[in-house]
Chains A and B, each alone.
Chain A
Amino acid sequence: MDPQVIIIGAGIAGLTAAGALAEKGHHVLILEKEAQPGGHVAQWDRLFPSRRPGSEVLDHIRKIMDGRVEIKPGIRINGIIAHDQDFTVLTEEGTSYTGQALLIASGFRLFQAERKEEYGYGIYDNVITSAEVETVFKQGKKLLTSKGTLPQRVALIHCVGSRDEKVGNLYCSKVCCVTGVKQAIEIKEQLPQCEVFSFYMDMRMYDRHFEELYFEAQKQWGVQFIRGRLSECSEAPDQSLIIKTEDTLTGRPLRMIVDLVILLVGFVPEPETGKLVEMLGLSTGEDGFILPSDEHYNDNLTTVPGVFLAGAVKGPATISNTIADARAAALQIDSWLKTKP
């Protein structure tokens, strides 16, 4: 039997929407490009702001949909044909799937830090990304330098690949500020002797409990915040790093030697999603993320009837926002299916 809804992407957005649609009695199929479902969250340790394990949230979502939703992993889509009443998705493997509605929940990609060459990622071993820090924590390991020593001083760099016309991304990635604060606390938890510095342009603590987490980082953990964007990073002979910024609050250039630099990488549109956009004739914003048909009233709808959106395909989003958005998309799809003959 053909599914009623085909969901592209088995991350937080796709899984949540699948569960909500299954609860309403719809037959759902998820197509996922990776071998395992779970998306980015499956790679992350604890979530901001409460520091609850990411796996807990993922398990909860999966519990709702398990046994009721079919997931096909390792799928590469190479065509979508829109008929009058349904859509046929063609894969590179030569299989095809037909459904009445299509939900694009294919998420985002993390900014490739190598592109910000002056920060030395991929050149210096002690320059790592926030995603790699999550992997270290998730494996229950200690955060170490490339030589295997405990870092005495760590710098977290905000806005890497975000708010930067030099890499073509003018938008704010929304979640990096609070991720930086969360990781700063986690580093202090793990290595109380380590000095932790955060280099920021603005601290965007916009959501509930974010500001409190920022305050906790200052009050309880002694994390130090320096207002200035990193201009460059170079390696000393002992593999420690020399970073340069302006300390804008004293108005003077500042140099500092640190053992580890952590780049808080932002969101970029998933290139694979770009192919779907072309196949379906959808439109994207200047930021490259997909535009819904109306940003206020119909933000899960597209200009193509039957094609819906959920989660970070529409731009950077937190996990809680993504879950809410995916549920909203499920409701929209449910009403749409009911109007069909």
Chain B
Amino acid sequence: MKDFGFTVQLDHSIDYDAKDKRMMRYVLYHEPSLDWCIGCGSCTATCSAGQFTLFNIRMAHTLLRRGETEKLKQELKKCMFCGKCQLTCPRGVNLRNVLLRINRAIELFG
């Protein structure tokens, strides 16, 4: 094919309706307190793994909600399960169970 010197960019937006939401539903069913999150970032600020890697638990939750499961799988491997996020959460979200459930959801639907 003739090279015209330009490329085609793929759509970068989140196509919400096209995403697989089974993982999100599974996690919310087994840990409803995740719905209480207000995205303040206390969890990420205190996260042991987040100090040294790009792991971001607040972002992982958003990825789960948006059905961005491929990115989520990479993220979760960095968590050390220390539970500091849960100690600091101002909404009382059971974050350790959230993480367990996301891991299980990856096994089931990933």
Contacts and interface: CB of A to CB of B under 8 A. Distances in A.
Given A201-B38, A228-B41, A229-B41, A244 B90 contact: no
A335 interface: no
Contacts of A163: 38, 90
A245 B45 contact: yes
Interface string B40-60: 111111110011001010110
22 contacts: A163-B38, A163-B90, A165-B89, A165-B90, A201-B39, A201-B40, A227-B41, A228-B41, A229-B45, A229-B90, A230-B42, A231-B46, A246-B41, A246-B44, A246-B56, A248-B41, A248-B58, A251-B44, A252-B50, A252-B54, A252-B56, A253-B45
B47 A253 contact: yes
B50 A253 contact: yes
Interface of A: 118, 159, 163-166, 201-202, 227-232, 244-248, 251-254
B25 interface: no
B100 to A, nearest CB: 21
Interface of B: 38-47, 50-51, 54, 56, 58-59, 88-92
Contacts of B40: 201, 228-229, 246, 248
B59 A251 contact: yes
9 pairs of A and B residues whose beta carbons are closest in the complex: A246-B41, A231-B45, A246-B44, A229-B40, A248-B41, A246-B45, A231-B46, A164-B90, A165-B92
A246 B58 contact: yes
B88 A231 contact: yes
A249 B77 CA distance: 23
Contacts of B47: 253
A159 B90 CA distance: 10
Nearest to B52: A253
Contacts of A202: 38
Nearest to A165: B92
A232 B46 contact: yes
Contacts of B42: 228-231, 245-246
A233 to B, nearest CB: 11
A253 B44 contact: yes
Contacts of A230: 42, 45
